[in-house]
Amino acid sequence: MQVNGVPYRTVWMEGRTVRMINQQLIPHRFELSSLENHLQTAEAIRSMLVRGAGAIGASAGYGMAQVVLEAPDDDRFMTYIESGREALRRTRPTAQDLFYAIERVYAAALKGATAAQARLLAVEAAEALADENAAAGEAIGRHGAELISDGARVLTHCNAGWLAFVDWGSALAPIYMAARQGKRVSVWVDETRPRCQGASLTAWELNGEGIEHTIIADNAAGFLMHRGEVDLVIVGADRIARNGDAANKIGTYEKAVCAAANQVPFYVAAPMSTIDLACASGDDIPIEERSQDEVLYVVGRDDRGELTRVRMSHQGAQARNPAFDVTPAHLIKAIITQQGVHKPTELPCALV
């Protein structure tokens, strides 16, 4: 990702410190955050300072490496590691990449014959996982770009781009790759209430890439599909069940229903690490419920240029805030992974 001509990854590690782009401040400010220990990294995941399936996974992997680096050189070593592992697992329940990353780094550390070797193996595993996530995004971009014709009008939901991965992204990667191939692409950007990741993050990314885009209210997507102004839909995923059902940001299911009603191809883009073979169907995917304040308030920059929070409803109003929904496999035309484009019911079984 290029920001003012400088290349960045979404998250990386320097010594024992995890460094990441503070996504809570975009598009109004670009700042980097430093997390000095695994509890700070866990809180960054929980509070959505970092968000997006791939970026959550990489952050959790680095957080697990921090746990091993912090563990004392005595009989408390394994107790500390188990405690830190559970603290990271409790941050967010839906994104499969988080659990995949934690367990992969944890398993690598257990192979160490000594504490020093365990630390080395944990850091190596976390770095390898982040590199693979970036490479997967680029491969998804190559495979997905073949589905995008010159002049295509693509609709996407939430943010599944650079910021949601270590690099490249999932749903936006085919768009970036198609644009770099010289294709003319325009993007309908769902605002994605309640946290508005489309309006704040996706639009910011597309602007930086010089790709034509228009932000729309979430409820406008069906209207545009009915008018014939959407050629295809590409979304990301936080967890994909064995049968091809896919959990993604709340509102995705509605887009899939509208796409089916209007014969618009609906694609899901995600790395193999997002597939949870232990989940038989979408009914088994845990759905995170977040604070009602995310629905009742919005945060933005006022006319004086200051970030402020504004209440949207009457005092005392109650809200419900499921963060994800599940799109059944029969509404998904194909799932784009780093291994290629697959029918939802014919997903490869081997994880990366």
State the catalytic residues: 238
- Name the residue among 293, 286, 351, 288 with its Cα closest to residue 318: 293
Secondary-structure percent of the chain, ordered helix, strand, coil, rounded to 5: 40, 20, 40
**CA–CA separation, 79 vs 233, rounded Å?**
46
- Neighbouring CB atoms inside 10 A of 237's CB total 29
Q: What are phi and psi of 295, to 5 degrees?
A: -90, -35
**CA–CA separation, 174 vs 128, rounded Å?**
23
Q: What is the CA radius of gyration of the chain?
A: 20
| Angle of helix 115-145 versus helix 53-70 axis, rounded to 10 | 170
Q: What are phi and psi of 208, to 5 degrees?
A: -65, -30
